[in-house]
Amino acid sequence: MKIAVYAFANTAYFFHALIREARHTSEIEWSVILPRGQCRNLFDGLLPQDRVFYLYREFTRAYEQASNPFPFSIPDGADNIFLSLSKDKDGYRHLDKEEQIRRAAAIYSRYKQFLQADRPDYVLFPDLETVDGFILINLCYELGIEPVYYVGTRSLGRSFFTHSPYEELPRYFGYYTAEDLTLADEALALFAKGQLSAARMASALSGNNVIPIEQPGLFRRMLDNAVVYFRYERLYKGEDNFLQKVKTNIKPALYLYRKFRFKMGQACYFDIRRLNDKLPENFVLFALQYTPESSINGLEPYFIEQTRAIDLIRHHLPSGYYVLVKEHPAIAGVRSNSFYETLRHMPGVQLVHPSVPTMPLVEKAKLIASITGTIGLECFFAGRPCMLFGRNFFKHLCGSYESYPDFSRDLRKLLFEFQSPTEDEKRVALARIFNVSNACYLGDPVAQPMAMDEANIRNYLAAVMKHISRISERTRGQVSSRHSASC
């Protein structure tokens, strides 16, 4: 079996430990794809050089050879190159449109060359955040390579693997056991106590045997970053630019500045600042999401401009209804004044201060809406109607935006015909998710050292092998069924 890993940013340290662990327990031929150069030498001595691919090593040549018409052959059903570029957080969008496509063509050709030479059976992906990663996963579809994409289940505190960056549940989803029902009962009980949190995953890991990460010192890293930039990555474009790195290193001061900016210059835009302020009798609660963030940029780039969804709702509301737009606490002081000014000028919209508690509003709202926010999962727990505008693993538990012509009908169904799921329906729905989930975590191991817990790495490897086994069993079952039908 041949498995490649997409070692994005600091996940390279995690995958390095994973490959070392796997060498003792399984017969896998590993290869590594490094989209950036900070860990380009990490795998020396662990893997042969021809199985460690660094995107920007020959990137300038690929860029110079790229010319219109560009050689994209991504199949129908996968994201075209324009959609992959639209998922950019804060990099490519600042380039001229032709320059964006040319650099994307260089990424595409470099990755395609490696995949065709290496021919892995599977590619392991962390949560995707950058344009090159989205191009890579769509290339996997083109070349018939199975992606194994990691999805964290948010407040459920577990994870699963799937073939899609849209958090689609795996193809073998649908079953559950008595053990899965027990996990569902635990989750429902924790939600009832207000204790259901993604932090449960961290507490489940002992942290007693964390593999240390031996990063070079700050000066050496700065020097190496300069070498990487001038030698390889002048054509790289992304959100992790020099300004972003400065912001990362002054987080406490930046937080205070944003808090001051919001209080002095933006709090005045909000209509509802306390829970006891007068609310409309009938309203839809729209929960704004933090942006840019992979949970919205990667899952539903069309609605990154969240005013598009707000307009859809207010344009189709029955008479006497309003939209309450609740700001996300983590983004206070980040958005521009013009964003709030736009909302302030929309008839039928009232802005809710981020300090106002969300759950009391959820209880009073006739309907809750979000693009892909975790509030949708919380509404399912609470038995409240919710509409999501994007895709994620719990979309099937909520109402969803399907098309503009049907929107008015779908909105009214949720407003006037919604029936809360029974406790048994909740248990079964959650049990099915727990059935495909795992007790392992993949995140930035520098910021979240728990990812490097030895038990977590073993759990992750076992979960990958279990996922591959389950999709293989399903494929064999389908082939057997087709064969029986033809006899």
- Residue-wise burial string across 425-443, b where 16 or more C-beta atoms lie within 10 A, e elsewhere: ebbebbbbbbbbbbbbbbb
pLDDT given at position 136: 98
Q: Is residue 72 domain-shared with residue 35, that is, in the same domain? A: yes
Does position 483 have pLDDT exceeding 60, yes or no? no
Percent of the chain with pLDDT strictly greater than 90: 81
Structural tokens at position 43: 């795998």
Q: Is residue 85 domain-shared with residue 147, that is, in the same domain? A: yes
Q: Is residue 16 domain-shared with residue 126, that is, in the same domain? A: yes
Structural tokens at position 128: 């995707």
CATH number at residue 400: 3.40.50.2000
Q: Is residue 124 domain-shared with residue 249, that is, in the same domain? A: no
Q: Is residue 253 domain-shared with residue 297, that is, in the same domain? A: no
Q: Is residue 460 domain-shared with residue 388, that is, in the same domain? A: no
Structural tokens at position 454: 């030895």
**pLDDT tens-digit readout, 421-472:** 999 999 999 999 999 999 999 999 998 999 999 999 999 999 999 999 999 9
Q: Is residue 258 domain-shared with residue 115, that is, in the same domain? A: no
pLDDT given at position 478: 65
Q: Is residue 339 domain-shared with residue 482, that is, in the same domain? A: no
Q: Is residue 259 domain-shared with residue 408, that is, in the same domain? A: no
Would 185 be classed as within a structural domain? Answer: no
> Which residue did the predictor score with more confidence, 479 or 283?
283
What is the tally of structural domains in the chain?
Answer: 3
Integer Cα distance of 34 and 48 in angstroms: 14
pTM of the predicted model over 0.85: yes
**pLDDT tens-digit readout, 84-100:** 999 998 889 899 999 99
Q: How far is CA 472 from the centre of its chain?
A: 25
Q: Is residue 271 domain-shared with residue 409, that is, in the same domain? A: yes
Integer Cα distance of 15 and 39 in angstroms: 11
Q: Is residue 248 domain-shared with residue 273, that is, in the same domain? A: no
Q: Is residue 283 domain-shared with residue 301, that is, in the same domain? A: yes
Residue ranges making up the domain that contains 398: 266-430
Using omega within 30 degrees of 0 as the cis cutoff, is the peptide bond preceding 75 cis? no
CATH number at residue 13: 3.40.50
- Residue finishing a domain among 409, 430, 451: 430
Closest Cα partner for 283 from 354, 383, 351?
Answer: 351
Would 158 be classed as within a structural domain? Answer: yes
Would 59 be classed as within a structural domain? Answer: yes
Size of the chain in residues: 487
**pLDDT tens-digit readout, 142-174:** 999 999 999 999 999 999 999 999 999 999 999
